[in-house]
């Protein structure tokens, strides 16, 4: 069964607009949560991660994400998108019971209009 | 410079011809992993290793082998490649099981 769901395959926003990318996970206990970004032809780079503590986490490049246990969600946000943010974004989850296993969502492709 | 390197970056081969994709990291990381990326499927874990001589299966281990004889190296072996193994492969490493993973640049494999 899929452990991580990214409902939006493709999102298009205008430069300067706000952005929210959705991520839902299925796991009973608190998971370890990550957001990675992949620029065209590149490997993956970590944007931010949540293990415990403050549910609002700040990452690189002006991104933030909020862990909501009640909704099993870890949505990624950015208040003002830049053209260079165009990329594919992946949410990933690790479970405490099987720490070596990392489950990725299918990704959300972000297009930014000038 | 801290990095994960993979070789080759691009490979075209034929069905049944054994191949190895090498992965090496210079960060003294215990944990290494292999993923394949296919359009619309995201990344799926093939195998991971928690330290030298310790490996375990991920989501899609069929048709692949790995070994971890040295801490820095984690090669991926396809004993008899098939066309359904055509994919983009990533190696990653991290200092702990649940910690930031550093990804290599990827190896694009085409099996004819």
Residues of chain B with pLDDT under 70: 97-98
Q: Which one of B10, B38, B66, B101 would you mutate to disrupt binding with A, by most A Cβ within 10 Å of its Cβ?
A: B101
User: Which residue is closest to B30 within chain A, CA to CA?
Assistant: A100
User: How far out from the chain centre does Cα B70 lie?
Assistant: 15
Smallest CA–CA distance, residue A112 to chain B, in Å, is 20
- What is the biggest distance separating any 2 CA atoms in chain A, rounded to whole angstroms? 44
Cβ within 8 Å, pair A102-B56: no
- Contact of B61 with chain A, judged by CB distance below 8 Å, is answered with no
- Rounded Cα–Cα distance for residues B4 and B35 (Å): 14
> Mean pLDDT score of chain A, rounded to an integer?
90
Q: Which one of B98, B100, B106 would you mutate to disrupt binding with A, by most A Cβ within 10 Å of its Cβ?
A: B98
Q: Which pLDDT band holds residue A102 (cuts at 50, 70, 90)?
A: confident
> Mean of the pLDDT values across residues A93-112?
84
Task: Give percent helix, percent strand, percent coil of chain B, each to the nearest 5.
Answer: 5, 50, 45
Return the SS3 of A62. Answer: helix
Characterize B27-56 residue by residue with b for buried, 16 or more Cβ atoms within 10 angstroms of its Cβ, and e for exposed. eebbbbbbbbbeeeebbbbbbbbbeeeebe
Phi, psi of B80 (to 5 degrees): -145, 80
- Rounded Cα–Cα distance for residues B47 and A76 (Å): 28
Half-sphere exposure of B63 (CA within 13 A, CB side): 15
For the stretch A44-92, pLDDT in tens is: 999 999 988 889 999 999 999 999 999 999 999 999 999 999 999 999 9
């Amino acid at each position: 069964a899929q452990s991580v769901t990214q409902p939006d395959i493709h999102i298009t926003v205008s430069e300067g607009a706000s952005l929210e990318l959705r991520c839902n996970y299925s796991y009973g206990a608190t998971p370890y949560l990550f957001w990675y970004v992949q620029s065209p032809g590149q490997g993956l780079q970590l944007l931010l991660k949540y293990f415990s503590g403050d549910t609002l986490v700040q990452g690189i490049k002006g991104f933030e994400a909020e862990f909501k246990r009640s909704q099993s969600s870890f949505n990624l946000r950015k208040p003002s998108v830049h053209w260079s943010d165009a990329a594919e974004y992946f949410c990933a989850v690790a479970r405490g019971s099987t720490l070596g296993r990392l489950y990725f969502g299918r990704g959300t492709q972000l297009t930014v209009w000038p | 410079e801290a990095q994960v390197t993979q070789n080759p970056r691009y490979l075209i081969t034929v069905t049944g011809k054994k191949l190895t994709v090498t992965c090496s990291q210079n960060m003294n990381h215990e944990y290494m992993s292999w993923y394949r990326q296919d359009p619309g499927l995201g990344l799926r874990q093939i195998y991971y290793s928690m330290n030298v001589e310790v490996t375990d299966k991920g989501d899609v281990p069929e048709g692949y082998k790995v070994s971890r004889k040295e801490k820095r190296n984690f090669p991926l072996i396809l004993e008899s490649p098939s066309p359904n193994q055509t994919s983009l492969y990533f190696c990653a490493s991290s200092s702990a099981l649940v910690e930031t993973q550093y990804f290599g640049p990827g190896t694009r494999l085409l099996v004819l």
